[in-house]
Amino acid sequence: MSLIQEAQARDGGLTSRGAAARPAAWSVTEQPWAWAVAVLLLIMPIIANGFFLIEIFGTTLILGTIALSLMFLAGYGGMVSLMQLTIAGFAGYMVAVFGVSGNANISLGWPWWLATPMALVLAVLFGTLGGALAVRTEGIYTIMITLAIGAAFYYFTNQNWAIFNGHTGINTIATPHFLGIDWRMDVAFYYLTLAVAALCYFAVLYLSRAPFGLALQGVRDNPRRMAALGFNVNAHRIAAYAFAALIAGMGGVLQVWNYRQISPGSVAVERCIDILIVAVVGGITRPVGPYIGAFIFVILRTFALDFLVKVGLDGNRFRLLIGLGFLAIVFWSSDGVIGLYERWRKRGERGEARTRPGGHGHG
Q: Nearest approach, Cβ of 291 to other proteins (angstroms)?
A: 20
Q: Could you tell me if 182 and 175 are in contact, meaning their C-beta atoms sit under 8 angstroms apart?
A: yes
Q: Nearest approach, Cβ of 335 to other proteins (angstroms)?
A: 12
Q: Nearest approach, Cβ of 170 to other proteins (angstroms)?
A: 16
Secondary structure letter of residue 313 according to DSSP: S
Q: Which residues contact 181 (CB under 8 A, 6 or more apart)?
A: 188
Closer to other proteins at the Cβ: 288 or 322?
322
In this structure, the chain runs to a length of 363
Q: Nearest approach, Cβ of 162 to other proteins (angstroms)?
A: 7
Closer to other proteins at the Cβ: 246 or 275?
275
Closer to other proteins at the Cβ: 81 or 193?
81
Sort 249 into a burial class: Cβ within 10 Å, 0-12 / 13-18 / 19+: buried
Positive or negative torsion for Cα 266, 242, 142, 65: positive
Q: Nearest approach, Cβ of 6 to other proteins (angstroms)?
A: 9
Positive or negative torsion for Cα 282, 287, 292, 297: positive
Closer to other proteins at the Cβ: 7 or 246?
7
Give the footprint of other proteins on this chain (CB under 8 A): 3-4, 7-8, 11-12, 80, 133, 136-137, 139-141, 143-145, 147-149, 151-152, 155-156, 159-162, 269-270, 273, 276-277, 280, 314, 316-317, 319-320, 322-324, 326-327, 330-331, 361-363
Rounded distance between C-alpha atoms, residue 280 and residue 127, angstroms = 21
Rounded distance between C-alpha atoms, residue 80 and residue 95, angstroms = 26
Closer to other proteins at the Cβ: 117 or 361?
361
Q: Nearest approach, Cβ of 231 to other proteins (angstroms)?
A: 21
Q: Nearest approach, Cβ of 264 to other proteins (angstroms)?
A: 12
Closer to other proteins at the Cβ: 123 or 268?
268
Sort 166 into a burial class: Cβ within 10 Å, 0-12 / 13-18 / 19+: middle
Closer to other proteins at the Cβ: 34 or 313?
313
Reported as type and span, the H/E element at residue 108 is: none
Query: Strand ranges (DSSP E) for 49-88?
Result: none
